[in-house]
Chain A
């Protein structure tokens, strides 16, 4: 069979296996979504999902998903500047934290903003924590689920990286008084600050930077930070003393892989860890970008034991846009988030959303697939599923990076 005849390589051939699509909402024509998804139960009982946008002009969108078959946009806000993006947000109760990044160093505003979302229609700014600086693009990603601390990947006015790409490092912000956020701890990979007395790390061929990405800290283990550092790999950190984070262990797959380590999710009861790469290149040029499973029985020595199987490169690389791993459901310890150490759900850009059964972590098995048709108006010709979140009702939310907005699904496996 020629590639042109192959139904899976035909642009837009959708695949739905063991997922049921309940609804899709293009969010008023602003359906290019980032990697912040968080569910709030409002005081009046409505279930609101807060979504970060991939890029300007929109800041964030709140959607009433009480009835997952009929999602309704309740508010959508604008960014003050076209060069800003707010790619990441999280909520804890009625407080929402939003990360602001700029296209270039030195631009403003860049940093962290806290909102009171007790009335979802009217998010009210509580405070802004400035992260702009001559060498800073602000905050790219944040983690916030305990209502007390924001852990984020951000630059800072007082930080000069040894390489311009390495501006965002780990910062812990105390927001117990949300009107006065203050930094209480920070850590960067040795060699990435211009002030370090250590040789800077060698550049990877794609050179995406030695900088922090996901900064996961789980309330059930508040003294641990699971930090991915893009081209620097993954760090398990001791943050018992938040002012002095210490490295417990480090693992990287690159080289020979091509960097951009993205998210580390520990499965505490099973002493396992999931680590994702992010695909950043079109047409599978950085393939394979994977979800890795690590044996974390000894946290000082994480051992990779498997990867989640990907569909064939040939079937996806020419569909348009990126093909490879990115975000996974992170088991955020909130009553509104599903917890599972048996199933992993991840987004793979044009490879869609995929679910894996990892009950045998040595042999992950794909149990569900959702590759929708190219959303209307997409500039790349294919869906680019970017992030996924599952609520405690086991309803799955996934978003497209360009135009598709929000897709709501049921798991059927």
Chain B
């Protein structure tokens, strides 16, 4: 609309936001293997002041109904997804459930929820959930994924990570990793922490005892800059993570065209790309996000969260290496900026 109704107060990406989610409903994706302690963690959270006004979306897998019964008793609203695993079957159920919640809130049929926690089934790969928010325009306009929190059982976690590719992916894509049952696991927490650190060097690793966790760890947005000093790491299953940094302001066409090319060629292998970009001509950092071949619209924040104005974008990919992405950026920059 800036072409017709320009505003000096708006940037290239529209209104400058105080925070990344703007006015959208924050969403926490809570994932973790069966029996890892997600429900206990969630129940404790819902009883705290931070948990007030939380709507819980649960999907069932396996032992139908148990999780739902537990959560419904304490949450303000629970929507039960009955179609099994979120990643493969229930993505459309999730979309329907969330859309219905928005419509019902509009009509006044649902209480005024302030936050949504999506508790996934044990086997769920979080990528399709992230994709859902990136693809569904109605949902993307209303909701913002603030954090992906993965719960890992100290007793069985190490073993599970060894045999399950889904469990590894849950750990790799998390913003925060919460180790539970440390009280009964004895000495196994240290090797587990080490394994998680190797899988996801950027994530914050926390411990919960009897489901007790600082509630802000389920609600606060993940800070991408924490990854700034993490070197490229190759995890299991060919998954690679690295951080691209750049001290100089980036011309937007260079970034946009590089990412267009990358998505066209290796979209399915871009598991999660997210970070702050110092874009030429912008006052605050521009938050960019990609999930495979999908990208929610970038937003400009009103100001940088700290003194560091470096662009820093975290890439989690399947086999797309840092030097390749770096090389593509250089090539596009040379082409875009050449006279």
User: What is A's interface to B at a CB cutoff of 8 Å?
Assistant: 1, 6-9, 15, 17-18, 267, 269-272, 295, 297, 311-312, 314-315, 340-343, 357, 359-362, 365-368, 411-413
Contact = CB atoms under 8 A, between A and B. Distances in A.
B22 to A, nearest CB: 6
B23 A413 contact: yes
Interface residues of B, number: 23
B112 interface: yes
Nearest to B8: A269
A357 to B, nearest CB: 6
Interface of B: 1, 4-10, 14-15, 17-18, 22-23, 106-112, 114, 141
Given A342-B10, A413-B22, A312 B5 contact: no
Nearest to A5: B109
A141 to B, nearest CB: 28
A315 B108 contact: yes
18 contacts: A6-B108, A7-B108, A7-B111, A7-B112, A269-B8, A272-B5, A295-B5, A311-B108, A314-B108, A315-B108, A341-B9, A359-B14, A359-B15, A360-B14, A362-B1, A367-B23, A368-B23, A413-B17
A373 to B, nearest CB: 13
Nearest to A371: B112
Nearest to B5: A270
Nearest to A368: B23
B109 A1 contact: yes
Contacts of A368: 23
A8 B9 contact: no
B208 to A, nearest CB: 28
A10 B114 CA distance: 19
Taking chain A's interface residues, is the majority helix, strand, or loop, or is none over half, making it mixed? loop
Contacts, number: 68
A289 to B, nearest CB: 19
B23 A18 contact: yes
B23 A269 contact: no
A297 B141 CA distance: 29
**Closest 7 interchain pairs by CB?**
A367-B23, A8-B108, A315-B108, A413-B23, A359-B15, A270-B5, A342-B15
B339 to A, nearest CB: 34
Contacts of B23: 18, 357, 365-368, 413
B1 A312 contact: no
Contact of A359 (B4, B10, B18, B109): B10
Contacts of B7: 267, 269-270, 341-342, 359
A269 B14 CA distance: 15
A341 B5 CA distance: 10
Contacts of A297: 4
B321 to A, nearest CB: 38
Given A1-B109, A342-B15, 9 more contacts: A7-B108, A8-B108, A8-B112, A269-B6, A270-B7, A312-B108, A315-B108, A357-B15, A412-B18
